[in-house]
Amino acid sequence: MTEKYSGKKWTWEDEYLVSSYEVDARGSMPLPSLGKFMQETAYNHANHLDFGYDQLKEQGLFWVLSRLLISIDKYPRWGDKIRVRTWPSGVEGLLAYREFKVLDAQGNPIAAASSAWLMLDSEKHRPQRPELLKDRNGLFPTECALDRRPAKILSLTEPKEGMFFPVRYSDLDLYDHVNNAKYMQWILDSYPEELLRRNETTIFEINFLAEAKMGDDVAIHTQEIETPPSPVFSFRHSIKRKSDARDICLAEVSWKHNQLARMDRM
Number of domains in the chain: 2
202, 254 contact by CB (below 8 A)? yes
Q: Calculate helix-pair angle for 180-189, 31-48, nearest 10 degrees.
A: 170
Other Cβ atoms within 10 Å of 216 Cβ, number: 18
**Residue at which a domain ends, from 124, 150, 176:** 150
Residues present in the chain in total: 266
Residue 124 in domain:
yes
The one-character DSSP state at 235 is E
The DSSP call for residue 123 is T
Task: Evaluate whether residue 126 is within a structural domain.
Answer: yes
Q: Which of 101, 131, 150 is a domain's end point? A: 150
Asked if residue 136 and residue 63 are part of one domain, the reply reads yes
Residues 109 and 123 in one domain: yes
**Do 23 and 143 share a domain, yes or no?**
yes
Confirm if 236 and 205 have CB atoms less than 8 A apart: no
Query: Which 3 state secondary structure label does DSSP give 118?
Result: strand
Q: What is the CATH number of the domain that holds 240?
A: 3.10.129.10
- Same domain? For 123 and 203 the reply is no
Q: What is the pLDDT tens value at each position of the chain, 266 positions in all?
A: 455 566 789 999 999 999 999 999 989 999 999 999 999 999 999 999 999 999 999 999 999 999 999 999 999 999 999 999 999 999 999 999 999 999 999 999 999 999 999 999 999 899 999 877 877 777 888 899 999 999 999 999 999 988 899 999 999 998 899 999 999 999 999 999 999 999 999 999 999 999 999 999 999 999 999 777 778 899 999 999 999 999 999 999 999 987 554 434 32
Give the domain-ending residue among 133, 150, 167.
150
Same domain, 140 and 21: yes
139 shares a domain with 16: yes
Q: Is 165 exposed, middle or buried (0-12, 13-18, 19+ CB in 10 A)?
A: buried
Q: Are 106 and 217 part of one and the same domain?
A: no
What domain range includes position 161? 152-266
Are 129 and 182 within one domain? no
What CA–CA distance (Å, rounded) separates 226 from 218? 26
Q: Domain check: are 117 and 13 in the same one? A: yes
Same domain, 135 and 186: no
